[in-house]
Structure formats: C-alpha cells, structure tokens
C-alpha cells in the first residue's frame, strides 16, 4: 500500500479528531490515543466533555474507564465542544430514523458543518456511523459545498483531481466487548475513490490488529446494514420458534438446544424482543433503499417488534390470578451486563405493564435512575424485589440475576423471557 500523502510528520497520521463521544466514538478515541495518536474527542454534551477531561467516562463499557483515564493522564486524549484541526476526522454520531423508519442524517450533516471550517488540504474524513447507502457520498457533497476551496472526491472521479479523502468504515463492535473488538475485528473500509480507501486503511493500520478489507463506500455501507439485518432475521426466527413452542406447549429452550445438535443448524435464543440502537434500526435503512426487495427483512422487524407485546400479554394473564399483584421486572438494559437502555424491549414491557394499572417495580443494577418514561415506576434492589413480588418477569440476563438462588423463586410466578432460570 502506498504511504499516505498530505499528512504530517513521518508519513503517519499524528492527530485525529473524533466527532461524537458515545458508545463507539469514545472507545475509538481512547484506543487511538493509547496507540500514540494525539486525539481530540468532540461532543455537544458538556458533561461528557468535562468528565472525560477529568479522566472519567459517562458510559459503562468494560475497561473503558481505565483506558480513558490513562490516555487523558498521558496528554494523548482531550475532549472538546468544538472540532480542532487534525490529519484525520472520524465521525461517530447517531444515525437514527424518523417517523415511518426514514433515515435521519441530521447528526451527520451537523458533524460535516462543524468540521468544515477546520479542514485543510490532504485531510482524511471517515464516517464510522452506520449509514444508509449513499451517505458517504452525501457527506462529501456537504463538505464540498461548505469548503469550495478544497477538492472533495466524487464516485467514479479520478482521485488525482482531489486533495481530500472521504471514506466509510462501519463500526462493528459488540457492546460489552468493544475494546477487544475495536482492535481485533477486521475492518471493512469503503472509499469514495480507491485512494480514499487506502488513506483510511493507512490510519487504521496504525491502530488495529485486524485486517483492513478495502471496497467502495456504497458497498461498505450495505455490508454493515446486511450484517445487522442478517442477525435480526435470525433472532426473528428464534422468536417465532418461541411463539410456536408457546402455542404447542413445548419448551423452546430444550427444542432449540436439540435442533442445534445438527451440524448445520444454529438457532439463536428467543427473548423479549430486539433492542439497542443497531439491530432494531439498521434493517430499516435497507428497507428504505429497496422497499420492494425486502419482504423478509421487513417481516423479521415486525416479528421482533411484536415480541414485547406478547410478553406483556403473558404478564397480564398471570396477573389475573392475583388481587393487586406486584410485578417485578428484572433488567431494563437491552442485553446482559451493560447500561444501555436504548430501544430496549425491557423498558417497553415495563412501561406497558405499568400502564395496565398493575403495581410494577423495576430492578436494573447497571443504572442509577430509571429513564423518564418510567418516572412513575419504583426502582428496587434485587433482594427487595424478590421479597415483594408476586410475579417475576426476567427481561435481561444480567449476571446478578443468574446468581439468584432458585429457592428464592419458589412460590412466585416466573416469566423468564431469556431462559435464564431453566433447571
């Protein structure tokens, strides 16, 4: 691979500006800083910026606090409210959808506006946010209109005509394993031109141990969406099997375990629904781009979105056997041992059960205060909830719940959506 051009020092990238210090941006900034780059992380959240500059973190992810603390103490990582000049810019902002599941690129556009004034010839801009196909090219156009003095790439154009490099390299890290996966996963790197992809690969080669896999920006965008849609479809199959088993009075966990003894079958685990800001969102970006070609992806989304409602029905049915029952919802995070409540089916279920006028208490060991939407729900400690509840609804398979002595559950009605307490 050619040595990158237009960057400072010994031909390597020296400075990086990361826009968005969330679940992807902050770990990325910290890892890059720990590998010797001078990193400025930028966020609009003043509290996050202040905390990071004190060597602290505003999100929970194993070992992130130690890494950030070390990088800040070494002077390699700083947080700021505004972008600063750098050799490379990494955009890691949210890409949610609007009503009707139409992608909302307003955060990407705002990031482009924010970095445009500090760009200089030769800079590299990478978008890591999961993006609908065409976003990277759109980003390049937004930057070009704000900085007509610089030459941004367009697809199919000769790279020699450009002095800016724009690429997409989707983040693919699994919450809970972010710091390991950031460094060890292979990276798909899509450039608007070949040269853009090479420049981006040169940056990641300074930081990651995984392989860089070069392609076009549009392909890289679709690859990331396809990965998450693939998982969504597979989880939908598991959830559908769960519904089938409930209907037929068969233990889905036993049936899945036995089916998975087949050498070419690997059914995933049914659960209360699909949460998080990725798998419940990204498939819609494919649907938006190709609505008529995606009946399977759309069906999977509907199956998974329906799942919390079936759990609520189960709870309502169980509640009919009591006068004034107390329901304890165990776990609000969208999956085990993290503090992320985004798009969490557990939050939705807790809300909907409380809306029935049923007394609900919630246990979530990884967050201090319940989200606004559950303002009227009591937050309880696990031992208190186990003592008070008539009905226990296990929604997230957090480690503290795994450790519960089965004797404590005796006499309670248990709805275990994760198969955690199966004998």
Chain position carrying tokens 């983040």: 171
DSSP string covering 54-81: TT--SS--TTHHHHHHHHHHTT-EEEES
Nearest approach, Cβ of residue 377 and ligand SAJ (Å): 20
Nearest approach, Cβ of residue 236 and ligand SAJ (Å): 9
Closest CB to ligand SAJ among residues 78, 335 = 335
Closest CB to ligand SAJ among residues 228, 350 = 228
Q: How far apart are the first and last CA of the chain?
A: 55
Interacting residues toward ligand SAJ by CB under 6 A: 130, 171-175, 227-228, 231, 235, 238, 268-269, 271, 274-276, 278-279, 334-335
Task: Name the percent of the chain in helix, strand, coil, to the closest 5.
Answer: 45, 15, 45
Q: Tokens for 74, please give them.
A: 């070494």
Q: Could you confirm whether 224 is annotated as catalytic?
A: yes
Closest CB to ligand SAJ among residues 195, 335 = 335
Closest CB to ligand SAJ among residues 269, 359 = 269
Closest CB to ligand SAJ among residues 77, 338 = 338
Active-site residue, from 162, 196, 278, 329: 278
Nearest approach, Cβ of residue 334 and ligand SAJ (Å): 4
Q: Which residues contact 140 (CB under 8 A, 6 or more apart)?
A: 152, 153, 154, 164, 166, 192
CB 420 within 8 A of CB 400: no
Active-site residue, from 78, 195, 224, 335: 224
3-state SS, one letter per residue, for 363-419: ECCCCCCCCHHHCCCEECCHHHHHHHCCEEEECCCCHHHHCCCHHHHCCCEEEECCC
Q: Tokens for 145, please give them.
A: 């209109």
Nearest approach, Cβ of residue 106 and ligand SAJ (Å): 19
Nearest approach, Cβ of residue 242 and ligand SAJ (Å): 9
Closest CB to ligand SAJ among residues 81, 180 = 180
Nearest approach, Cβ of residue 362 and ligand SAJ (Å): 17
d(CA 24, CA 224): 14
CA distances from 274 to 228, 270, 285 (A): 11, 10, 16
Residues in the chain: 423
d(CA 191, CA 204): 13
Q: Could you confirm whether 402 is annotated as catalytic?
A: no
Q: Name the residues annotated as catalytic.
A: 224, 278
């Amino acid at each position: 691979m050619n040595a990158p051009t237009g960057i400072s020092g010994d031909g390597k990238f020296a400075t990086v500006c990361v826009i968005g210090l969330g679940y992807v941006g902050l770990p990325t900034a910290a890892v890059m800083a720990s590998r010797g780059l001078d990193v400025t992380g930028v966020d609009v959240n003043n509290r996050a910026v202040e905390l990071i500059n004190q060597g602290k973190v505003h999100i929970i992810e194993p070992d992130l606090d130690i890494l950030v603390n070390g990088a800040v103490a070494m002077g390699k990582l700083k947080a700021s409210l505004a972008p600063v000049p750098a050799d490379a810019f990494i955009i890691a902002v949210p890409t949610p959808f609007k009503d009707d599941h139409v992608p909302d690129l307003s955060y990407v556009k705002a990031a482009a506006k924010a970095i445009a004034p500090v760009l200089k010839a030769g800079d590299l801009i990478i978008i890591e946010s999961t993006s609908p196909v065409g976003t990277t090219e759109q980003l390049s156009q937004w930057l070009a209109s704000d900085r007509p003095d610089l030459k941004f790439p367009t697809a199919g154009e000769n790279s020699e005509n450009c002095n800016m490099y724009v690429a997409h390299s989707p983040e693919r890290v699994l919450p809970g394993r972010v710091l390991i996966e950031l460094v060890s996963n292979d990276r798909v790197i899509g450039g608007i031109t070949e040269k853009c992809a090479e420049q981006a690969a040169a940056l990641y080669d300074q930081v990651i141990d995984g392989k860089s896999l070069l392609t076009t920006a549009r392909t890289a965008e679709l690859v990331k969406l396809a990965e998450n849609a693939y998982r969504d479809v597979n989880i939908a199959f598991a959830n559908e099997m769960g519904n089938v088993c409930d209907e037929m009075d068969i233990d889905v966990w036993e049936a899945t375990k036995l089916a998975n003894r087949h050498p070419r079958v690997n059914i995933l685990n049914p659960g209360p629904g699909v949460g998080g800001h990725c798998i419940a969102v990204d498939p819609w970006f494919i649907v938006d781009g190709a609505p008529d070609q995606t009946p399977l992806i759309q069906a999977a989304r509907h199956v998974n979105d329906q799942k919390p409602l079936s759990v609520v029905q189960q709870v309502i049915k169980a509640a009919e056997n009591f006068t004034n029952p107390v329901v304890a919802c165990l776990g609000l995070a969208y999956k085990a041992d993290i503090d992320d409540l985004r798009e969490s089916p557990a939050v939705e279920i807790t809300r909907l059960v409380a809306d029935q006028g049923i007394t609900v208490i919630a246990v979530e060991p990884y967050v201090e205060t319940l989200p606004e939407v559950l303002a009227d729900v009591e937050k309880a400690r696990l031992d208190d909830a186990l003592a008070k509840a008539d009905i226990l609804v296990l929604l997230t398979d957090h480690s503290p719940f795994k450790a519960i002595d089965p004797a404590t559950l005796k006499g309670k009605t248990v709805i275990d959506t994760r198969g955690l307490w199966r004998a």
